[in-house]
Structure 1
Amino acid sequence: MSAFSDYLENTLINATLRGATYTGGAVYVALFTTDPTDAGTGAELLDSAYVRQRAHTTVASDGFTVPANGVTSNARNIVFPAIVDGQVTVTHWALFDAQTAGNMLYHAPMLNEKTLDPTDVISFPIGSLSITLA
């Protein structure tokens, strides 16, 4: 189950109840070593090879499946580069609207925490990152 960030909660309230506009765009997957929390205060993975991965290929809409009953999931494999600096344990993932900095949109814990050693690659097969709005 995913959670909204504080940023996205406020943005959606403004867009749906206060007449503001919101235009989505690129979405990037980030990895965390602690809970990012709704406020985005967790520790994003630190490794010299780490970079957030774009969830889509050519257009933002191809990154996630068409929602059904408030649920969507990644529509393509997402593969991160191999870790190089040392062992690290990934506990959470999040979606951002930018490759660096930007606004966190959604976040969730890993179903199983993953300890990565140098040369290990972490990936998310199609359908494994699920966003549920309930």
Structure 2
Amino acid sequence: MGFSNTTAAAILNDIFRDETIYLALYKSNPTGADTGTEVTGGAYARQLITFATPAIDVGKQTIKNSAEIQFPIATADWGVITHVAIRSALTGGTMIGFGALVTAKTILTGDRFVIALSNGAIKLS
């Protein structure tokens, strides 16, 4: 079942825009059961993520990050980042959603993981 544009926008706003949420980096698939391996150590910290107003993109209601997301500079190797998740808290909390990166990214000491403006998107139809 699909959603109307109005309902899809309301869901995206309610879950992803009306609450404070954080982006987490993973070295494995977090799965719907929240069982993946999140990055730890080396100055890693989840980052606040904010989304722009929903808009139709390729026929689906879509929200995109409204600011560049910069993680701290790694002070130790973080490994290969394969997935991201949106979480309800800076530490702990609930995983709200997750997805694979288009291209995995190796983060070594001195590197910074960055998601450019509008490169993080969530689509709902």
Counterparts of 2:68 and 2:20 in 1: how far apart (Å)? 16
Match of 1:66 in 2: 53
Offset from partner CA, 1:22-46 (integer Å, 9 cap, x none): 8x42110000000011111100012
Match of 2:103 in 1: 112
For 1:73, give the aligned amino acid.
Answer: K
Contact 2:41-2:78 within 8 A present in 1 as well: no
Does residue 49 of structure 1 match 2:43?
yes
Question: 61, 64, 86: which one pairs with 1:95?
Answer: 86
Measured at CA, do residues 50 and 87 of structure 1 come closer, stay the same or move farther in structure 2, by a change above 3 Å? Answer: closer
How many residue pairs align between the two structures? 108
Counterparts of 1:97 and 1:131 in 2: how far apart (Å)? 16
Measured at CA, do residues 38 and 87 of structure 1 come closer, stay the same or move farther in structure 2, by a change above 3 Å? Answer: closer
More strand by share: 2
Match of 2:32 in 1: 38
2:39 aligned counterpart, secondary structure: coil
Task: List structure 1 segments (4+ residues) > 2 angstroms apart after TM superposition.
Answer: none
Match of 2:21 in 1: 27
Normalising to structure 2: TM-score of the pair?
0.79
Deviates more, 1:110-119 or 1:39-48: 39-48
Normalising to structure 1: TM-score of the pair?
0.74
Q: CA RMSD in A?
A: 2.0
Structure 2 portions without partners, runs of 5+: 1-10
2:23 aligned counterpart, secondary structure: strand
Structure 1 portions without partners, runs of 5+: 1-15, 17-21, 56-62
2:25 aligned counterpart, secondary structure: strand
Offset from partner CA, 1:33-78 (integer Å, 9 cap, x none): 00011111100012230000011xxxxxxx1011123210100000
* Shift in Å, 1:87: 5.1
